Amino acid sequence: MHQQVITIFGATGLQGGSVIKTFLGDRKLKGWLIRGVTRNASSEKARDLAAKGVEVVEANLNDRVSVLKAVQGSTVVYGVTNYWESLDKNLEVQQGKNIADAAKEAQVQHYIWSSLPNITKRKHIAIGPFAREYSHGFAVSGGVLSCVYHFDSKAEVESYVRSLDIPASFFMPGLYASNLTTNLIKKTPLEDGWRFFLPAPSTAEIPFFDVNDTGKFVKGMILNREQVLGKQILGASNYMTPAEAIETFKSLFPKAGENVAFVEMTHDAYRGVLTSQGLPAFAAEELLQNLRLLAEFGYYGRAKLDESHAILDDELMTWTQFARCAKEFEGLE
């Protein structure tokens, strides 16, 4: 019997790194050859992976030949792209298609694409035995939110993958927990307190997701292959509102919590903060609409998470656990 091989794109990144860590340490995945794909096999992170037994290979997502070479002989491929490196929707779509084409040509047994919902409109292609119905009918914006490019680009690639008629599943990560502690919950020196800033109401539902849990979801998808083929797995621990997040903050840090509050920012104010930090206006609008999505339409269209959790062996990170260990909150009482 040939050794099973998982090829993981973005090996030195957050999602890919989590998948590799899971495969290195989980007894249920023992015996797999772990192949990590990176642009620079000589980087410190890549060398660290190689020292742990990962087969590190180089590939450029814009170079179809190198991508195909990287996935040859793979049993499973985990594909992920990073829109924020280029801020170019069309480039990300092409990169995603390059990985998908390579997975098809290499005849992988299971292709897992890191996807997201199409916010502008719903695209649905179902051809062949592996291109099954969407498992969640997302309530999208119908054009109201038309600038969330990093969602729509990944959804466009998902539609393309479905059209290829290959055995595939789709992992859909929630809102990174690190965004809460680095971008949304901040110390305000002038008011000597903490504020949760959001261009949406305090009742908005945040799909809480620690990116370090990516590997737990991918493990579940691989061990339950037949169950998840053609389906979208929602990568979130739970839905949490800003009001609930603040209450947890107060319970963890009673002294700091004496002066913590939620601030609903106007859309103009939020755009202004981002552009003042050097972000292009179109990207500022994109991030604004991304957060408006939470309250206006639902990140996942308010789909339940139970089906996605059913494939998991491992407990997911909670906001309480994450906040307690967050470096941004270090030293708080």
Average pLDDT, the chain: 93
Whether the predicted pLDDT of 122 surpasses 60: no
Q: What is the pLDDT of residues 43-102, one digit of tens each?
A: 999 999 999 999 999 999 999 999 999 999 999 999 999 999 999 999 999 999 999 999
The total of other beta-carbon atoms located within 10 Å of residue 131's CB is 20
List the domain boundaries for the chain.
5-174+210-236+300-314
For residue 259, the tally of other CB atoms under 10 A from its CB is 12
Residue 39: per-residue pLDDT: 96
Can you tell me the mean pLDDT for 145-162? 94
CATH class (in words) of the domain with range 5-174+210-236+300-314: alpha beta
Q: What is the pLDDT of residue 127?
A: 37
pLDDT digits (tens, 9 = 90+) for 176-211: 999 999 999 999 877 779 999 999 999 999 999 999
> pLDDT-derived band of residue 166, with 50, 70 and 90 as boundaries?
very high
What is the separation, in whole angstroms, between the first and last Cα of the chain? Answer: 56
Task: Assess contact for 171 and 112: CB atoms under 8 A.
Answer: yes
Rg of the Cα atoms in the chain = 20
10 Å CB burial of residue 109 (0-12, 13-18, 19+) is: middle
User: Does residue 29 carry a pLDDT above 80?
Assistant: yes
Inter-residue contact 218 to 308 (CB < 8 Å):
no
279: its two tokens = 């972000």
